[in-house]
Chain A
């Protein structure tokens, strides 16, 4: 059973507009959340993170929002640029049971930003 879910496999946005990527999780023990960006032939690149004590974290064009009660987080990219076109992975971690604090990843959302 997936603990981290990205229900939209793909998203298409016009350049300059906002991109909103969503992620849901089921494990209430998760306390640290991250977003990674991945191009096809490369490894994932860390974008931004948020701990469960916060509900928002901002870094330049990227903002992550965390809604703990809904077990939902989102990544906002404003303004979107063609170079943002990639697959975005949501990941979560926490110390519980045998987790060892390891990251659990979603399946990713492919973002296409059109000029």
Chain B
């Protein structure tokens, strides 16, 4: 069973606000990911990290940024939220890359009004 935690679970904020979505895992996994999913659509990879001080952009372009200062922590930040950022954001981790199962947190639902 995965031990990966996301906060907040639900957030409603006004346009132009800065937000940080927190993600922590206790499994010691090197690789971490952020996916974005709109209802009825596939999950799109927006950021990933191989380990401390490593961050890479995913397949879907995103205005968000991430950091990886500690192995267990992979926060995502939006400097100025817009209604187009309304979505579900899913954090995940795995021991390594291909051939490894990734485990997801419960997700953060962001609504920008």
Contact = CB atoms under 8 A, between A and B. Distances in A.
Interface of A: 2, 4, 9, 31-32, 34, 36, 41-46, 49, 51, 89, 93-95, 99-108
Nearest to A103: B102
Given A32-B98, A32-B99, A43 B48 contact: no
Given A42-B106, A46-B101, A95-B98, A105 B48 contact: no
B42 A105 contact: yes
Interface of B: 2, 6, 33, 35, 40-45, 48, 56, 58-59, 90-92, 96-107, 109
Contacts of B59: 102, 104
Nearest to B98: A101
Nearest to B99: A32
A44 B98 contact: no
B1 to A, nearest CB: 9
A108 B48 contact: no
Contacts of B40: 9, 107-108
B90 to A, nearest CB: 5
